[in-house]
Amino acid sequence: MIGVNSPREIAFFYDAARRGINDEAAPFEGAGVQIQHRVFPRLGEGEKDAFEEAIAAGLDGLIVVPGDLPSLKSSFRKAAKLGLPVLCLVTDAPNSQKLCSVSINTHSMGAISASLMGRFLGGSGKIMVTTGNLKVADHEQKFAAFEQTIKAEFPKMQVFPAIENHEIAEEAYRTSRAFVAKHRDTSGVYISTGNGAPVLEALDEIKLLGKLTVISTDVYASAVPHIRSGAVAAVLYERPYSQGRTAFRLMYEYLVEGRLPVPEIRLEPLLIMNSNLGAFISRPGSENQNKGNRAPLTLTDELVLFDQRQS
């Protein structure tokens, strides 16, 4: 039995990661492999309890998305003491006792976004950055890479301190709208997590979407029209489905074959713009003709269907 602890929010992202795990595990169900999911509200909320429940469940292995690292340290130690291998998914838990971690290359995420932003703005301007929680390794590392790359390549540009929205849509909307109202000289916006829909909504309502240079993270249905129009100049896609498949495969190979994985697996992000959006997003044909607004979009690289109404 392999346990999987992951957040509910951001739904489209973690649903894709869970599908990746389930799809990779499916061929082994006949051999008795089972997946036990525990879903907690969001990073930093409920994950400690979920971790402790998983430890008590008598699992063979555990895949976790770690957020609030200080609160989880004792759980990592307890799992190690009991011989329960723990694999970190999506974000790392540095200095914790774990089997390995599978995530996106956070340096590439931040650095590529910064390089694009600087070139789009001609090397000058002030940048707003939205993130989830800088206590989360993934979020902190992307912001650090973005800020460092701007300083190194575009010293005339200014990066404002990151706005933390804790992956809560209402907070992302409110803080983003308040920030650009206060800082009217903002030139660009870097949305560094998948919680971008409310940020785009806020910019659209105050007539700034299309006027500011926006670089975002991950593809979700409500962002597609903005990518096509160029209002979102570029998207760095974190490949959650592939992350999920990779995580299960490594855990399975360790448990069944005794194969020890390398400490870190970092997938490279995909750069998606209007010019290549069609290569990644397609709308299936006749089988969805009568589903109207529920007709899914297919992210072809990931083989994932997601609902047009998701954000």
Q: Per-residue pLDDT tens for 49-58?
A: 999 999 999 9
The total number of structural domains that make up the chain:
2
Domain-terminating residue out of 227, 248, 280: 227
pLDDT above 90 as % of the chain: 86
Q: In whole angstroms, give the CA distance from residue 38 to residue 209.
A: 37
CA angle 29, 6, 197 (to 5 degrees): 120
pLDDT above 70 as % of the chain: 90
- pTM for this prediction: 0.87
With cut-offs at 50, 70 and 90, classify the pLDDT of residue 280. confident
State the residue range of the domain holding 121. Answer: 109-227
- Confirm whether 293 is domain-assigned: no
Same-domain check for residues 164 and 67: no
pLDDT tens per residue across span 162-180: 999 999 999 999 999 999 9
pLDDT tens per residue across span 85-129: 999 999 999 999 999 999 999 999 999 999 999 999 999 999 999
SS3 of residue 236 by DSSP: strand
Q: In whole angstroms, give the CA distance from residue 16 to residue 189.
A: 26
User: What mean pLDDT comes out for the span 135-151?
Assistant: 97
- Confirm whether 295 is domain-assigned: no
What pLDDT is stored for residue 278 in this prediction? 85
What pLDDT is stored for residue 299 in this prediction? 52
Same-domain check for residues 145 and 85: no
Closest C-alpha to 161, from 184, 181, 140, 177? 140
- Confirm whether 305 is domain-assigned: no
What pLDDT is stored for residue 3 in this prediction? 98
Same-domain check for residues 263 and 216: no
β-strand 86-90 against 304-306: which pairing, if any?
unpaired
Contact between 189 and 204 under an 8 Å Cβ cutoff? The reply is: no
- Confirm whether 249 is domain-assigned: yes
User: What mean pLDDT comes out for the span 67-71?
Assistant: 92
pLDDT at position 213 over 90: yes
More confident residue, 221 or 207: 207
- Confirm whether 279 is domain-assigned: no
